[in-house]
Amino acid sequence: MARKIIMTGDEAQYIERRGANSVDDDREIRMEGKHARYEENGGAQSTHFPHQGSEEAGRQWFEFLIGRGFIAPDTEQDCWLFQMGFSVNQPAEVRPVEWLKTVETARLMLYKVCDGLLASGSITKSRIGELASQCFTKQGEPLKLAKPRKENSIDADAIEQFLPME
């Protein structure tokens, strides 16, 4: 049976937001009122890094970055895993990750996470920069990676020394 949607009222709207992996169901939806609104956008694929590594490695990176204050504490783990390519399961709502430290530490982290992809030629440093600006924000603006420069800090050392256990 197909989905049945009944909406009555002036200015009724139907728009649905669902992840690309969502499956249609046969539920019945009834809505009434002047501004009845139901949102649904199924199948839209959000921007993300190429698939890489295991979800476990992604979780370890996530915990490390949250614990050390590199990313905002309200970051959704599912969004992180999907956007960084550790999971193929797209969450219903994908929000950019807020980077809290320096842009150089963001570059270090991204290059380290993507080192296997860089080595195999599956991604370029330029493409990492493009994806970073779509998947991360810094102070509410898209994250722009600058040219590499040496940063001597505890944060940079922590990223360079971090190794997730598989």
Q: DSSP secondary structure string, 40-81?
A: EE-SPPPP-PPP-S-HHHHHHHHHHHHHTTSB-TT--HHHHH
Residue 132 confidence (pLDDT):
95
Q: Could you give the CA distance from residue 40 to residue 10 in angstroms, rounded to a whole number?
A: 19
Domain ranges of the chain: 4-41, 55-161
User: What tokens appear for 149 in the block?
Assistant: 């420069």
3-state secondary structure of 139: coil
- Give the mean model confidence (pLDDT) for residues 114-134: 93
pLDDT digits (tens, 9 = 90+) for 12-37: 666 555 554 555 566 677 767 666 66
pTM of the prediction? 0.70
3-state secondary structure of 109: helix
- Give the mean model confidence (pLDDT) for residues 122-129: 93
pLDDT-derived band at 47, boundaries 50, 70, 90: confident
Judged against a pLDDT cut of 70, whether residue 39 lies above it is answered with: no
% of the chain with per-residue pLDDT over 90: 51
Query: Max alpha carbon distance in the chain (Å)?
Result: 62
Residue 38 confidence (pLDDT):
58
CB of 96 within 8 A of CB of 137? yes
